[in-house]
Chain A
């Protein structure tokens, strides 16, 4: 019944709009305003541009200021400070251009709306102007590019020797984490070795892999360089740690990396944000299938001492599952047994 009534209502509304529209058209024909070059609507449109400029300008400033703390995520890495500074410098430069061009774009329609008394000025070119507004943006952009390039070179430079290595492997639809253990060298892996009990495909015939251990979350020390070694097992994924300003694709068959220095522990961030539940998170930002939106991993940043303590408490793959050591060649088997005795 309601559906029927709504239908009738909509029909009535449409027919009223239709009538108004027809009457308008006929009136304009009678008045002969359709013969004019520019009718009264010309003025209305000109005014609307100015209204739009003012209205949307107010809305933009109001919302940008009000919501600043919401959209500006706190920064928790050293290079994040640099890239965010670049971001806001670029925002200032482009913001000025944005405002000036838009003020002109919407004021001109009002100022120069059609008038029969006036003739537009014939002004086809001015090479001096063209050269100015080619060179000035060129210089400004060069400044932005060079500062961006210097930051990019630093960020992508090889990681310091002493960086703590963490391997992050993406698969549908989660991340797995592997630490290199006391030697700080990750053991080899091969995707053909992946089994239910060896989800990383770690090659335990490599000596370096004996002390490797898994972790349910990424634990890293504050203030010390950390190197993420990133890979994928099935399709493309992308490691995104928003607070660290860190993003790097995980590519099957091509290991990638990203190093950084965290600057705030999870505990410090909890106090800063007044949120006792706060966790640093890793999300996936390369479309990878049905569960793309749920690939979450927690990063815990701790003080360096706490990190060393945590490291010493971890159990290696072999310790957790001694069967992995079966069938290893004599030399590595010996190492594995030493591990097991710990």
Chain B
């Protein structure tokens, strides 16, 4: 019965596909419902935002590295935010860090990473014509686009964009009197985030539905590539946590505009006592981090999924511990919802809660450790090919270790007392979440570029890009550990007011220079990307000699992905270097019955069953054909 429905669906989609050749420019490139084009839209938009977000960080790194610098030359861009003496405005400094955080976390690493690759890869790797709902998918992108437009506008308004940190804790974010960015800038932030959440939910529902319902014949959950597992679980996390952020934002809107007191209490500001009583700023923090912490895994899991795939392919070896990888991702997914308050050890919440969350937090280190060990074992005795994608994947594992280990300090509430909100935290999350996810994104782009555009990116430029970025990232974030242990607080415009922090000007200067070089190195990638899109070497059908389904599509797959029947899947995606096999890879579409020389004993037993199913299918197909 099940196989019959699948077959019917396939033929229906196929018919549909045949009529799909009347795309005009608008339906092909703008309001497209093709998951591949939507994925590319997310990617290009994400790259745009990465440049903006990176540029903002360069601006505040200039301030931190060279506090006495005359920044008048930035006046053409920043206008009044540079004062008469050429110094950066402290309020705008806060706006810069706020917008850098918001843009990088949500627009680049959530939409740019998950949006791009979930869209692009899910139908291609599970063997589907498109997403479950192409229309919702289109809406998902355009809500994101709208959100981006609003956030972009907020950068240019007179009172400046939101400036309360990317976490926008009230009362600071609720009271215009407290900081100018909490006026119109904050309103635009909230509106933009509302559209962003809508976009994420539309996308997430689609990813989940597609993975559950539209897998091709033979593609059981235990044969899914780890990328798909990662995207699937990411979507589940997003679906469960983003609505809570929406609730938090909604209550904040009420407090800001309608006089409620969800988060406000006992406030005397600007020479007057506000009427609000009974609210709790800590409530907001609980709600925010209920999204905020899972958000870390929303940006990280897709990167880990991509890395698993890229490392296995380029090690010419099955990923070690496929099931353990899935179980640890499941573990991370569940645990990610019950660790949020480790961001709040010193927020004034009950210390008993702190104890509970410390225990839960350190549990989540275990599945993360398992993943690292599995990556290392995958490399062990492999036959490693260093494509740029592979290099970025190895870089990701390095960042994941470095940043993950410092999480063990911060998850320990006793140690966190000193380290909370210092540069140690900045170093920690930039490595484990920022840089690791960014490297996952880069690995994905280099690896799937041939599928996306039918051409190869230049490998040598990729190597240069990798080494500059890899070394650069460490030079930027590793020194921050020292600065953090010394107690330098985050979000400080300058440290010279304090005796204990009146040092390390040299180290901060070094970090800033490294940041500028690393940022500049990204333009090598930008050039490589756009140049290769038009002038790159023509790609072969399966340039990395990979097993997964996307490489069985034509070089330029149309809307519908496969011109004929969707291929059937007969094996898991990691049959690399199988003993007995002639090639060092066996694509998922090769039946077990075709490879008797390399089948493992339990696979040999499945051959009979497989032949039976194939015969049945043949009959169904013939029956369908005769109906037409």
Residues of chain A having any CB pair with chain B under 8 Å: 21, 24-25, 29, 34, 37-39, 41-42, 44-46, 48-49, 52, 56, 60, 63-64, 67, 70-73, 80, 82-84, 86-87, 90-91, 93-94, 97-98, 101-102, 104-106, 108-109, 112-115, 118-126, 129-130, 133-134, 137-138, 141-142, 144-145, 148-149, 151-153, 155-156, 171-172, 191-192, 194, 201, 233-236, 238, 240, 242-243, 245-249, 251-254, 256, 277-279, 281, 283-294, 296
Contact = CB atoms under 8 A, between A and B. Distances in A.
A254 B94 contact: no
B500 A149 contact: no
Given A108-B379, A119-B383, A253-B281, A296 B320 contact: no
A196 to B, nearest CB: 9
Interface string B236-269: 0000000000000000000000000000111111
Given A94-B408, A191-B266, A254-B265, A101 B372 contact: yes
A57 B353 CA distance: 39
Contact of A283 (B370, B494, B501, B574): B501
Contacts of A112: 315, 379-384
Interface string B483-501: 1011101111111011111
A60 B383 contact: no
Contact of A293 (B277, B420, B495, B584): B495
Nearest to B537: A34
B172 A119 contact: no
B91 interface: yes
Contacts of A201: 268
Interface residues of B, number: 118
B376 interface: yes
Given A83-B418, A133-B369, A293-B491, 8 more contacts: A21-B460, A38-B385, A39-B459, A73-B500, A83-B415, A102-B398, A142-B362, A247-B418
Nearest to B345: A152
Contacts of A83: 414-415, 417-418
A1 B135 CA distance: 56
A296 B366 CA distance: 40
A133 B371 CA distance: 10
Nearest to A74: B500
B322 A124 contact: yes
B268 A194 contact: yes
A82 B471 CA distance: 35
Contacts of B604: none
B555 interface: no
B577 A247 contact: no
B467 interface: yes
Interface in B306-343: 315-324
A235 B175 contact: yes
Interface stretch (B116-124, B163-171, B562-570): B163-171
Contacts of B504: 70
Contacts of B323: 125
Interface in B477-517: 478, 482-483, 485-487, 489-495, 497-501, 503-504
B415 to A, nearest CB: 5
Given A105-B379, A124-B322, A144-B412, A191 B365 contact: no
